[in-house]
Amino acid sequence: MPRRSVFAVLTLAGMLAATASVASAQGPTVRNPPNTMEFGIDAGLQFGLGDVSTVQFTLPASRARVGFFLNNDSRWSIEPAAGLSYSKAEGGDGVFVYDLEVGALYHFRPPSAITANVPASVMYVRPFIGVTGFTGDNSDSEFSAGAGFGVKIPWRSGFAWRLEANTGYGFDNEAWRIGALAGLSFFMR
């Protein structure tokens, strides 16, 4: 084979290899984004329906939460949340109030829909269990369970508004609760 033919074949093979690697780099890839975490705070409104009715309204934040998506672009996330406060008046004992909860969110779209170039609202359901109580002279706590239905509405890149209506049952005082949460979420990879 003449030297010119070998050079032409090698050049052609090199150009085909380069074109194939550029084409595969530009083509669509089937790859899940890395796991996503959701950090947020929520304002809350809650009505207690039982022997003693209650109303609780907390602004700007009644609780903080962090959501862990189970695997790459999963529709499921586990979300612990906590609301803590301490009050003490002069001459009296301090009262520590806690509200600890864990929920499992099922999103009707994957989380990448919220953070995509063209973001979309994502609806979800959230079953949860929790314990609420206070310490002091008459300390008490109550176990509860319930479920919520909500929507995450994209606001800016990596941020979304979150609105939820929920209901729960307190087993100690045997009372139903109806609640609403309005919050802001920040998504981080």
Instruction: Give the pLDDT confidence of 89-103 residue by residue, as tens digits.
Output: 888 788 899 999 999
- Our count of domains for the chain comes to 2
pLDDT range class, residue 2, cuts 50, 70, 90: low
The region of weakest confidence among 99-103, 117-121, 146-150 is: 117-121
| Of 86-100, 116-130, 147-161, highest mean pLDDT | 147-161
Return the bridge partners of 152, or none: 122, 162
Containing domain of residue 4, as a range?
A: 1-30
Q: What is the DSSP letter of 158?
A: T
CATH code for the domain in which residue 74 is found = 2.40.160.20
Whether residues 171 and 131 fall in one domain: yes
**pTM value?**
0.75
Q: What sections of 37-181 are H helices per DSSP?
A: 112-115
Whether residues 1 and 21 fall in one domain: yes
Residue 53 CA to chain centroid, in angstroms? Answer: 30
Whether residues 58 and 115 fall in one domain: yes
Whether residues 139 and 47 fall in one domain: yes
The region of weakest confidence among 12-16, 19-23, 80-84 is: 19-23
Whether residues 54 and 21 fall in one domain: no
Whether residues 73 and 153 fall in one domain: yes
Q: How far apart are CA 15 and CA 155, in angstroms?
A: 45
Whether residues 85 and 24 fall in one domain: no
Whether residues 107 and 137 fall in one domain: yes
Identify the three-state secondary structure at position 153: strand
The region of weakest confidence among 19-28, 38-47, 73-82 is: 19-28
In 70-94, DSSP assigns E strands to 76-87
Cα–Cα nearest to 79, from 44, 110, 103 = 103
Q: How far apart are CA 162 and CA 99, in angstroms?
A: 19
